[in-house]
Amino acid sequence: MSASFRAFVVNKTGDSFTSGLKELTAADLPAGEVLIKVAYSSVNYKDGLASIPEGKIVRSYPFVPGVDLSGVVVESGDPRFKPGDEVLATSYEIGVSHYGGYSEYARVKADWVVPLPAGLTFKEAMALGTAGFTAALAVHQLEKNGLKPQNGPVLVTGASGGLGSIAISILSSLGYTVSASTGKSSEHDYLQKLGASDLLDRQETSAESNRPLEKERWAGSVDSVGGSTLAYLIRTTRYAGSIASCGNTGGPNFSTTVFPFILRGINLLGIESVNCPMELRRELWQHLASDYKPRHLLDTIAHEVSLEDLPQALANVLKGGTRGRTIVKVS
Ligand SMILES: NC(=O)c1ccc[n+]([C@@H]2O[C@H](COP(=O)([O-])OP(=O)(O)OC[C@H]3O[C@@H](n4cnc5c(N)ncnc54)[C@H](OP(=O)(O)O)[C@@H]3O)[C@@H](O)[C@H]2O)c1
């Protein structure tokens, strides 16, 4: 492939930081066995961080962000893939230390590539993306630790965000009673449409407290906020319940005591999607294409932007201002 193609490139030299669309050629792409013509990518919080100089995500410059991509294999030096295969690739080093999905072509390692599961289009796969995959991983880990619909309500925090929206949708499809905590009163109708039956204000779920234990409320939770919200969840999780700790949009630090652990036997589960083993990764993508597939994925949860719209979309995700998921139409 000799022609040039478009990519969103960030660059930092000394005190100067630039970002914007540039023409690249295949020679600019990093090493990898599989060359993919990218159809769609998406916007995650991490991509927002990759687009600013102080984000501490990008390892070296110049760089093409975008932790998610879906598209068609154009060339493959690995027998597991051949030209014409429909694939997706998320996580690992993509969009962090290896050029990512904001590019009409991407070259990645074959070990990072997942065949597009039957039941998902390129666009749907990116409407899910890393946020959707992480929501699926959180639900999987909660159930592995004993969560069942009859155990009681499950709280999703950062509910209007990408991870939160998809977690609500998956949990409600699986028969759970879902509560949603949000800082956006304007999104109550949206969250109810996804399956939340009870809405909590973010102020309530992020309030500080000196009490080590409070009324037992939640059989489980999916937390993308962290900070004082995670401390709240630890104080209010029911006996033997579990918290899936996924993110830190509300801050990294929290203060707690051992009492919820030694008096209620609660479980704090760390959710890490980037290095999730390939076997489980493929299994969860199969779920996302079938029983976990959100009902209102394209008509309500996701909206589409172009490569030209990226600066605005990336700034929005950093402000916590996006609702649901942002898909990027690449080519
Ligand atoms: N563990 C992993 O492997 C993994 C994978 C993907 C993402 N993550 C992390 O998960 C988090 C969510 O990702 P995302 O893609 O869903 O991001 P997102 O779409 O930007 O959603 C984040 C949501 O958090 C809430 N929020 C924003 N600022 C907040 C604040 N200051 N205090 C409390 N809540 C705030 C908002 O929801 P409301 O307005 O509804 O409250 C916002 O919509 C991020 O920290 C991300 O880095 C982790």
pLDDT tens column, 117-136: 999 999 999 999 999 999 99
pLDDT-derived band at 2, boundaries 50, 70, 90: low
Q: State yes or no: pLDDT of 258 exceeds 90.
A: yes
**Nearest residue to 324 via CA among 44, 20, 136, 26:** 44
Say what the pLDDT of residue 322 is.
84
Question: For residue 89, what pLDDT band results from cuts at 50, 70 and 90?
Answer: very high
Would you say the CB of residue 326 lies under 6 angstroms from ligand 1? no
Q: What is the pLDDT of residue 237?
A: 98
Q: Which of 144, 153, 145, 139 is nearest to 238 (CA)?
A: 153
305 pLDDT band, cuts 50/70/90, is very high
Is the distance from the beta carbon of residue 320 to the nearest atom of ligand 1 less than 6 Å? yes
Q: Whose CA is nearest to atom 37 of ligand 1?
A: 158
pLDDT of residue 321: 78
Q: What confidence tier does 1 reach under pLDDT thresholds 50, 70, 90?
A: low
CA of 284 to the centre of ligand 1 (A): 21
Nearest alpha-carbon partner for 212 in 258, 158, 268 = 258
Distance CA 13, CA 31 (A): 23
pLDDT over 70 (residue 69): yes
SS3 state of residue 274: coil
The 10s digit of each residue's pLDDT in 3-58 is: 999 999 999 998 899 999 999 999 999 999 999 999 999 999 899 999 999 998 99
The average pLDDT across 65-84 equals 98
45 C-alpha vs ligand 1 centroid, how far in Å? 7
Q: Where are the alpha helices (DSSP H) in the chain?
A: 45-50, 122-144, 162-173, 188-194, 202-205, 227-236, 259-264, 278-288, 310-318
How large a percentage of the chain has pLDDT more than 70? 99
Q: What is the mean pLDDT of residues 173-186?
A: 97
Distance 298 CA to ligand 1 centre (A): 20
Token pair of 134 as six digits? 């992480």
Q: Is the pLDDT reported for residue 320 higher than 90?
A: no
Ligand 1 atom at shortest distance from the alpha carbon of 270: 1
Q: Would you say residue 221 has pLDDT above 70?
A: yes
